[in-house]
Structure 1
Amino acid sequence: MRLIYLFVFCLPIFSMAQDSIELKKRGKLSGQWRTYYMMTSNKGELKDFNSLATGGKLKYQYNLIENLEIGAALYNATNLGIQDLTIPDGTTGRLSRYEEGLFDRLDLENDAVFLFGELYAKYHLDQHSFTLGRMKINTPLINPEDGRMIPTLVQGFWYKYNKQKTSFQFGILNEIAPRSTGKFYGIGESIGTYPVGRNNFGTASQYADNTASDYILMANVDFEVTDDFNVRIWNQYVDNIFNSFYIKPAYKISASLMLEGEWLHQNKMGEGGSGIDSLRYFNQKSSDVLGMKIAYKSKAGLVSLSYNRILPHGQFISPREWGREDLFSFQKRERSEGSADNHALVLNYKKDFTLLKDLNLMSILSIGKHWKPYPIDAILNKYAMPDYTHINLDIFFNIKKLKRLQPELLLTSKMGNGDIPDNANFFFNKVDMFHLDLILNYNF
């Protein structure tokens, strides 16, 4: 059955060459073939996980009339079945955290996920563009988050204006297809398709299928104050749940030195998702995240030091279903979301170098220290995450003779620090673990 799914998905690729002349007249066919291996090694006798997926996307864009484009993209993730991910760890009773995300994590018995993730009309006019339908957007709090087979996608209306020193965006969204699922959901329905963590009483949160929200309003403006100073501002209003205001100023001290800051302020809107306390998603008045980043670029590479502080009065809350958190201290395979009274310090080093004559590498080494509230404290630590040290090595391969092939290797180690309760749930898929991703992307 898996081979039949793959044949159906690949058939347009094999016929592409025959139709290339006609396609050039009518529009543009593009896509990506992705094969993704993922592995997690947990502490001691806790279960290890492996998964292998293949699939990708096919996209077709057609110029209906001058300045008017219509487009559609079909996404697929096919499970090649190297491990049965429906069997939980024997000690904790829990499933994999990362590997299941390659597929439909709400239906792991579904071997092949297909999703019409993009289906839109787009009109261009000078510096303006208007898009209506299903699409991919990239914002600080809603974004594709490309570390899975199928990214996060949205449905609604999006407007963009671009000028030389100023840009503006505005959108209204009424549905979201969270990454690692196989369908679009209403805004409230989409919250809770990922693990829900704990409520303030230390029991499992119950906001899944109980969160009421009909739409999201988003707006962004980027502008240059001077040649060396620019500001980026976003506002995200989630109906009946919360509002997030984000500002990121950046100052270029010299040709080599950059200083940036960020502030994310959240406050409750309406009922916070539900009028019943035990079912409420945003169950606090407000939260604040402050950040600072300094970056230095030289011939030896780009090095940066970042610090984020989540203040004690409220958890930073943002649906994990909607993409990654675009904070300075973010590191692949973990988050600060769900914490209050949190500190994070991260050192990044990015370097391009030639390994062989026809092979160039871009490597990113990331070393982070994360100070969390005590994991038993449910009010400050929603997901019971201990203090940890996080090391990532991310390598991107550029093969000159195979320019369409773009492999990536991610190595991750997270080590628990300090006093961690003697309970496997505080370690499993969290700390004292090693994780590996090997991704083969072929773009056409």
Structure 2
Amino acid sequence: MRILLVLLIWLPIFSMAQDTVAVKKKGILSGQWRTYYMMTSNKGELKDFNALATGGKLKYQYTLLENLEIGAALYNATNLGLQDLSNPDATTGRLSRYEEGLFDRLNLSNDAVFLLGELYAKYKLNHQAFTLGRIKVNTPLINPEDGRMIPTLVQGFWYNYKASKSTIQFGLLNEIAPRSTGQFYGIGESIGTYPVGRNNLGSASQYADNTLSDYILMANVDFEVTDDFNVRIWNQYVDNIFNSFYIKPGYKISESLMLEGEWLHQNKAGDGGSGIDSLRYFNQKSSDVLGMKIAYKSKAGLVSLSYNRILPHGQFISPREWGREDLFSFQKRERSEGSADNHTLVLNYKQEFKILKEDLNLISILSIGKHWKPDVTNAILNKYAMPDYTHINLDIFFKIKKIKNLRPELLITSKMGNGDIQDNPNFYFNKVDLFHLDFIINYNF
């Protein structure tokens, strides 16, 4: 039945995509068909998970006037039924962490998720663009995060000005559709659709459905001080919860060597989400994250070494529902969010290989990280009880010359717990001592 549903959804899309000449007379039809296999092998007798999804998006853009564009995009994720993800692990009573995110994790019985994720009007004037409606934005703390079937999307107003050496952006957002869900939520409602972790007393946080916030204000300035020195600045104000200020300077030492730094400062705004302590999301005064990255590029590839430090006085808090944390030390399939007094050191190596008489190119990214976390029993410094761990990722992207629209990807992940970890399965399950694999087939049209 699921296969029939997939065919009914996607065969008409491919038929429409073939008639590109007729479509382009009125607008642009584009899209992506994505098939996503994901598996996690947990420690010992803890439950392993598998999932297979297919779907993607269909987008249409129409130029109504010379400078006015309207657009819409429909997103879909269809569960092909490889495993019943509603059955929890027998030992911990918990569900999968990664696999359920391919679908609507708030309603796993929904085998086919559909979301009108984009519906907007965009007006362009010289170097400026004004966009109103449901859109996709990419910022350090709110972004699509492409590691699931349907990305994070937002609703509101977005302004962009781009010149030769500077960029200015401003946004006012009133709703968010978190990835791994099937609808748009108000700003406060969207926080807590992912696991909530622990409060400062060590019990389960209760901010889900209890966080009050109506809007987000975003502002960004990127500029070049000199040809070799640039600065990126973002400010994110979340009504009644917190404000995040982020600055990222970069200096090109030579054609091959680049040095960057970053500082993220957060402070509570209003009630931190609720006037009741036990229901509050941002339950601290402030937090600070410092980072440094050095990168060297040669004919052999690009190698970088990154370090991030979250200072002890407050947890780095950012809703996981809103995308990935775009910090230097970020590695796919884990986060630093929810930690204070945290150290992270990550080595990355990126290289492109040309094989099969250049008919197939492989872009590989090897990432090795060491993450020093506070004690798992310290809820004030370690919201999600994450132990020390070593994280290794191998991400491979395939470029097939004869099928240019086909973009397969393979991600292999291993996370190993370090030191003496209490013999409690809740400190291991879906966290460390696991093997994880993603195989994704993207066909863009």
* TM norm structure 1: 0.99
Deviation at 1:172, TM superposition (A): 0.2
- Out of 86-95 and 352-361, give the one that drifted further: 352-361
Determine helix, strand or coil for the equivalent of 1:217: strand
Aligned partner letter, 1:341:
D
- Structure 1 residues 125-175: Cα deviation after superposition (integer angstroms, max 9, x where no partner): 110000000000000000000000000000000000000111100000000
Aligned partner letter, 1:64:
L
Aligned partner letter, 1:176:
I
- Structure 1 residues 33-64: Cα deviation after superposition (integer angstroms, max 9, x where no partner): 00000000000000000000000000000001
Cα distance between partner residues in 1 of 2:4 and 2:188: 35
Cα distance between partner residues in 1 of 2:155 and 2:401: 37
Cα distance between partner residues in 2 of 1:23 and 1:394: 36
Partner of 1:273: 273
1:141 is the counterpart of 2:124: no
- Structure 1 residues 192-212: Cα deviation after superposition (integer angstroms, max 9, x where no partner): 000000000000000000000
Aligned partner letter, 1:214:
D
Partner of 1:430: 431
Cα distance between partner residues in 2 of 1:51 and 1:142: 26
Aligned partner letter, 2:440:
I
Aligned partner letter, 2:362:
L
Partner of 2:221: 221
Cα distance between partner residues in 2 of 1:385 and 1:21: 53
Going from structure 1 to structure 2, the CA distance change for 1:18 and 1:230 (only over 3 Å counts) comes to closer
Partner of 2:382: 381
Partner of 1:126: 126
- Structure 1 residues 71-120: Cα deviation after superposition (integer angstroms, max 9, x where no partner): 00000000000100000000000000000000000000100000000000
Partner of 2:397: 396
Partner of 2:371: 370
Partner of 1:198: 198
Aligned partner letter, 1:432:
D
Cα distance between partner residues in 2 of 1:3 and 1:355: 35
Partner of 1:287: 287
Partner of 2:169: 169
Partner of 2:440: 439
Cα distance between partner residues in 1 of 2:415 and 2:98: 14
Cα distance between partner residues in 1 of 2:144 and 2:355: 31
Cα distance between partner residues in 2 of 1:441 and 1:74: 16
Partner of 1:298: 298
Cα distance between partner residues in 2 of 1:302 and 1:14: 37
Which runs of 5 or more structure 2 residues have no equivalent in the other structure? none
Cα distance between partner residues in 1 of 2:43 and 2:67: 56
Partner of 2:362: 361
Cα distance between partner residues in 2 of 1:17 and 1:268: 48
- Out of 6-15 and 82-91, give the one that drifted further: 6-15
Cα distance between partner residues in 2 of 1:378 and 1:13: 49
Identity of aligned residues (%): 85
Going from structure 1 to structure 2, the CA distance change for 1:18 and 1:317 (only over 3 Å counts) comes to closer
Going from structure 1 to structure 2, the CA distance change for 1:213 and 1:17 (only over 3 Å counts) comes to closer
Partner of 1:41: 41
Partner of 1:57: 57
Cα distance between partner residues in 2 of 1:330 and 1:36: 22
Aligned partner letter, 1:160:
N
Cα distance between partner residues in 1 of 2:339 and 2:9: 41
Aligned partner letter, 2:281:
Y
Cα distance between partner residues in 2 of 1:85 and 1:292: 40
Partner of 1:409: 410
Going from structure 1 to structure 2, the CA distance change for 1:65 and 1:288 (only over 3 Å counts) comes to same
Which runs of 5 or more structure 1 residues have no equivalent in the other structure? none
Aligned partner letter, 1:295:
A
Determine helix, strand or coil for the equivalent of 1:23: helix
Partner of 1:345: 345
Determine helix, strand or coil for the equivalent of 1:370: strand
Determine helix, strand or coil for the equivalent of 1:379: coil
Partner of 1:23: 23
Cα distance between partner residues in 1 of 2:3 and 2:66: 41
Deviation at 1:356, TM superposition (A): 1.7
- Structure 1 residues 356-391: Cα deviation after superposition (integer angstroms, max 9, x where no partner): 221100000000000000011000000000000000
Cα distance between partner residues in 2 of 1:264 and 1:7: 46
Deviation at 1:14, TM superposition (A): 3.4
Cα distance between partner residues in 1 of 2:16 and 2:43: 47
State the superposition RMSD in angstroms. Answer: 0.8
Cα distance between partner residues in 2 of 1:16 and 1:108: 31
Deviation at 1:16, TM superposition (A): 1.5
Cα distance between partner residues in 1 of 2:2 and 2:206: 35
Cα distance between partner residues in 1 of 2:152 and 2:17: 30
Cα distance between partner residues in 2 of 1:9 and 1:70: 24
* TM norm structure 2: 0.99
Going from structure 1 to structure 2, the CA distance change for 1:47 and 1:166 (only over 3 Å counts) comes to same
- Structure 1 residues 231-281: Cα deviation after superposition (integer angstroms, max 9, x where no partner): 000000000000000000000000000000000000000000000000000
Cα distance between partner residues in 2 of 1:392 and 1:186: 34
Cα distance between partner residues in 2 of 1:9 and 1:25: 25
Cα distance between partner residues in 2 of 1:33 and 1:17: 11
Cα distance between partner residues in 1 of 2:212 and 2:88: 31
Deviation at 1:18, TM superposition (A): 6.4
Cα distance between partner residues in 2 of 1:21 and 1:160: 30
- Structure 1 residues 272-323: Cα deviation after superposition (integer angstroms, max 9, x where no partner): 0000000000000000000000000001110000000000000000000000
Cα distance between partner residues in 1 of 2:8 and 2:436: 32
Partner of 1:155: 155
Aligned partner letter, 1:385:
M
Superposed, 1:216-255 pairs within 5 Å as 216-255=216-255
Deviation at 1:11, TM superposition (A): 4.0
Deviation at 1:10, TM superposition (A): 1.3
Deviation at 1:13, TM superposition (A): 1.9
